[in-house]
Structure 1
């Protein structure tokens, strides 16, 4: 690795060397770690501050833990800089000051004026508080406002040996890595540890670390300052200690919660194999994993709120849209090679793609299916029903023949979970209905939709072939009822066949799967495609590292083993031609037929809004608390309102963008109303309700805001500024400016110039 920034020890090379090494060109993200007691640590820190002085004022923030820890070395520059006001010195007790107060105090300091550089002395004490969130927030706040250097205190000794990885040092490095996303592209994060150790340590005067996306690495030696070796050759002086690497731990969740002991052992063994080949990083699974879908969903919600810091984990594919909208995950197309894209079934990769960009890596796929009892049907000479009417007839017939009074003909999940949306959509599509027409108008409440929902209700109350508790059943409960022999049919997923009980029932001829029945013989059955995918969160600074983990993890043998041990259907093509897989999971042979008759959830516009409404309204209909017509009418009405709000938002955004880029032109209410095809009166009402002020006030505020910027940064005359922001009447501009800023434009400019010259 080519080293372009080399730091030397002040005690060894002299302070004058620092003037060029620590000058304005020094990287923002450099951490300087220096000093054994008595080796000039404070002197160096003060000299560093002095080297920044020519750039402007310096903000010095001294962190201490209960006992003040001021730099002891005093010199003429320190005293003179404090007296002149060029050095702004503040001390903060990281132990007794509350995190909120500490953050507020630093924010006030930064907002008070402009600094050439901020120096945090003894910054490692922030990390020692144990509150990495606090440390992270402070570093982020400072970095956004001013070039920042962190001066970290003395390295400790353990048993007479120099400890190169003290906890505070590693914790601080982790925080720096977490903030790196805010740095300019290509800025890098280099950590040069400046030491003045006593000779008996046998160490060179300067230790060099690289902080990259894989952790904190101790380098054998730097490239000399005058080195031109393009290959970045490292030179190892005699007697230098061997490299010490602090592994970067990545928390990965290669499975969600449907994981038996065999699969868990397989995953753990695979992680051990990968970790064995990497001494600089380590991949670990979370300390605890979800045991239920409810717990898993709660954890995903915690991740969206920033409370879970997994580096690589599994999400339901329908959540991708929201995570993309909220900028929570990385796009992955850049790192997914054509070779890997060709490994997937097209439908698996398609559900991970949004607007042409790949955001997830396929993990499992699941087409909705009807599972049935082939032994019961064969006993009475029946074939799986292809029509909805045949399903009712067979269920009624089997109920009469079964002596168990609790036997249900068919079961499906009716509780308020996303599975209810999937079930309802399959009833809808197989009744000839759609959610929207070609113009994206909701049409659920038309005949086909009403008949589909009424059929679901009739299965419970009219025909009595679905249990009365259906509105409270989730997928896991319907699976248990079916596998326990309590039903002849269940709407579910092939994952049921992957369970131990399902696999045993399959071997005994007590379970099989078929396409969903339709209402008409000339209608092709359709089911929804479920699936899960891996995502890489935005807090991961090296998504390519996680991509390498993924491609290493999924060896050909792992793909095959997971296909026979996993809880759902593999997204990889090879699994469906693998004789080992087909022998142990013969139902894979049916999957191509079923997958070709699926529709992805992402193909349904506004799916998140739809599923929220379906879960509520369809569940009410299943409880007979609303009629099918009433429930679907409510869904349609709220979808229409949501679409209208979205349309209004898009129109207003168009207006705001136009105002921002055309301030120099005549901007009228009627003109903007015409731009977005609204009546002037309705436009005024909509604008004020949405933006929070009148149209005229908003335009004036934006114009004055732009005028203030021009007065501060340009040499334009007041009249020219007035014209640039759309005021043809110079006197009126001055009047509006005075009303807004409480001073005329000329005085505002003078004050701005005064502030600039002071700094």
Structure 2
């Protein structure tokens, strides 16, 4: 008996010596964190020698970005696995493990090409696409039908007309979106800008935002609040979850948000379950629709130990596998990056809009791909928010954005 116990103790000690602990960052928007915890439990059943600790991050991607800057500047070996916004690879590439040689290991040939391209910097793959995003229009299909509309708004003018009529009759808000000063505001602004025919940079990287189309787009955003009064003034403090809670509580007709909101507005606890439709964002004056490309990737900290890096690869491969992407899409409402998942009947049953609006995700437009994007974003945030809070005019805001971007990009 003593020999057996001694042998058992030796096995446990040896097993303990080979155990690896890794850390991973995660956001908490919607069901994101809840679903990840369940996925980690499944992973650790498959890999009992790897312990995973989740480090919760702020919902604001801007605040999360600044934390990463602090980690990398200090040469921290934690976190090992980093949840990366689709716009960060170019900036953080020097601090991320090169995964180019692991392309087949992660089966990246099975992923949407655009997501892999976004994870590639100067020919090196520095992250694995986890889920993809695009801005969408959520609407109360029961209220549209009640007031005689048989389709969601196709143009921004139609949205204003519908929102006014229904919101005034129902005593609720017309349209909620993300207007706080953070990265989400840039995403929203770009959708108006592109749909009005403008852009930030041209194909050669030249600053072209100082245009009548850009002024008209920003003026329209301001007018939604103060002229048309379909958007509450409080929108200048809203992030994704603020808008989602208002809409889910039945207090708005329309909402701009990401796909994650679908599973929440249709949860058993939601007072509007079964009453929500999803459509592409409306067209601008020139007949163009536009959605900002969003999404998140998983990268590995280059300061982590070799053992931690290998464990991190196993975790990323697990989380980005076919079944786990399907699980995340169904339970967290976050779009898969693997092409084949969109053909799975289980996805169509749980989130039909992901399949029906696949073209929206495939054609979503990227934010400016420049190494100092965080500085570019800060300029856009400052002046767009100043216009929304009436501290400056749309004309002055656009003029100042153009001036500062030309300085930042040495033009």
TM-score by length of structure 1 reads: 0.49
Which residue pairs with 1:624 in the alignment? 390
Say if 2:210 is the partner of 1:445.
Answer: yes
Paired residues of 2:22 and 2:311 also in contact (CA < 8 A): no
Say if 2:156 is the partner of 1:388.
Answer: yes
Q: What are the superposed Cα offsets for residues 589-615 of structure 1, whole Å, 9 maximum, x if unpaired? A: 223121133112254685333211111
Structure 1 vs Structure 2 CA RMSD: 2.8
Q: What are the superposed Cα offsets for residues 420-458 of structure 1, whole Å, 9 maximum, x if unpaired? A: 001110000000111123553322221000000000011
Say if 2:199 is the partner of 1:428.
Answer: no
Q: What are the superposed Cα offsets for residues 451-475 of structure 1, whole Å, 9 maximum, x if unpaired? A: 0000001111111111112222222
- Superposed displacement of residue 494, structure 1: 1.0
CA distance in 1, matches of 2:343, 2:25: 24
In 2 relative to 1, CA 607–423 (structure 1 residues): closer, same or farther, beyond 3 Å?
same
The structure whose RCO (Cα within 8 Å, separation 6+) is larger is 2
CA distance in 1, matches of 2:238, 2:60: 13
CA distance in 2, matches of 1:466, 1:309: 42
Say if 2:374 is the partner of 1:608.
Answer: yes
CA distance in 2, matches of 1:435, 1:272: 45
Which residue pairs with 2:140 in the alignment? 373
- Superposed displacement of residue 267, structure 1: 1.8
CA distance in 2, matches of 1:498, 1:349: 26
Paired residues of 1:274 and 1:552 also in contact (CA < 8 A): no
- Superposed displacement of residue 525, structure 1: 1.0
Which residue pairs with 1:733 in the alignment? none
Secondary structure of 1:381's counterpart equals coil
Which residue pairs with 2:83 in the alignment? 314
Which residue pairs with 2:295 in the alignment? 531
User: What 5-or-longer segments of structure 2 have no aligned partner?
Assistant: 1-5
Secondary structure of 1:580's counterpart equals helix
In 2 relative to 1, CA 247–546 (structure 1 residues): closer, same or farther, beyond 3 Å?
same
Paired residues of 1:456 and 1:622 also in contact (CA < 8 A): yes
Describe how 1:244-263 pairs up with structure 2 within 5 A: 246-253=17-24, 255-258=26-29, 259=31, 263=35
Say if 2:112 is the partner of 1:348.
Answer: no
Describe how 1:677-716 pairs up with structure 2 within 5 A: none
Q: State which structure, 1 or 2, has the greater radius of gyration over its C-alpha atoms.
A: 1
In 2 relative to 1, CA 262–440 (structure 1 residues): closer, same or farther, beyond 3 Å?
closer
Paired residues of 2:130 and 2:298 also in contact (CA < 8 A): yes
- Superposed displacement of residue 586, structure 1: 2.0
Q: How many residues align?
A: 395
Describe how 1:580-595 pairs up with structure 2 within 5 A: 580-595=346-361
In 2 relative to 1, CA 400–289 (structure 1 residues): closer, same or farther, beyond 3 Å?
closer
Relative to structure 2, which stretch is displaced further, 469-478 or 609-618? 469-478
- Superposed displacement of residue 536, structure 1: 0.4
Paired residues of 1:257 and 1:293 also in contact (CA < 8 A): no
CA distance in 2, matches of 1:618, 1:394: 25
In 2 relative to 1, CA 255–274 (structure 1 residues): closer, same or farther, beyond 3 Å?
farther
CA distance in 2, matches of 1:264, 1:529: 22
- Superposed displacement of residue 567, structure 1: 4.3
CA distance in 2, matches of 1:539, 1:490: 41
Q: What are the superposed Cα offsets for residues 74-115 of structure 1, whole Å, 9 maximum, x if unpaired? A: xxxxxxxxxxxxxxxxxxxxxxxxxxxxxxxxxxxxxxxxxx
Paired residues of 2:39 and 2:319 also in contact (CA < 8 A): no
- Superposed displacement of residue 373, structure 1: 1.1
Secondary structure of 2:254's counterpart equals strand
In 2 relative to 1, CA 302–606 (structure 1 residues): closer, same or farther, beyond 3 Å?
closer
Describe how 1:444-463 pairs up with structure 2 within 5 A: 444-463=209-228
Which residue pairs with 2:231 in the alignment? 466
Paired residues of 1:257 and 1:292 also in contact (CA < 8 A): yes
Say if 2:51 is the partner of 1:283.
Answer: yes
Paired residues of 1:414 and 1:472 also in contact (CA < 8 A): yes
Paired residues of 2:280 and 2:357 also in contact (CA < 8 A): no
CA distance in 2, matches of 1:571, 1:458: 36
In 2 relative to 1, CA 416–254 (structure 1 residues): closer, same or farther, beyond 3 Å?
closer
Paired residues of 1:479 and 1:496 also in contact (CA < 8 A): yes
Describe how 1:285-304 pairs up with structure 2 within 5 A: 285-286=53-54, 289-290=56-57, 292-293=59-60, 296=64, 299-304=67-72
Paired residues of 2:84 and 2:297 also in contact (CA < 8 A): yes
Secondary structure of 1:452's counterpart equals helix
Instruction: Identify which of 39, 45, 49 aligns with 1:267.
Output: 39
Instruction: Identify which of 254, 257, 260 aligns with 1:492.
Output: 257
Paired residues of 1:413 and 1:474 also in contact (CA < 8 A): yes
CA distance in 1, matches of 2:334, 2:325: 13
CA distance in 2, matches of 1:541, 1:488: 51
Which residue pairs with 1:78 in the alignment? none
- Superposed displacement of residue 493, structure 1: 0.8
In 2 relative to 1, CA 443–509 (structure 1 residues): closer, same or farther, beyond 3 Å?
same
Say if 2:309 is the partner of 1:551.
Answer: no
Paired residues of 1:335 and 1:544 also in contact (CA < 8 A): no
- Superposed displacement of residue 385, structure 1: 1.0
In 2 relative to 1, CA 450–244 (structure 1 residues): closer, same or farther, beyond 3 Å?
closer
- Superposed displacement of residue 338, structure 1: 7.6
Which residue pairs with 1:94 in the alignment? none
TM-score by length of structure 2 reads: 0.87
User: What 5-or-longer segments of structure 1 have no aligned partner?
Assistant: 1-160, 166-217, 219-241, 648-759
CA distance in 2, matches of 1:587, 1:323: 33
Which residue pairs with 2:168 in the alignment? 400
- Superposed displacement of residue 263, structure 1: 2.1
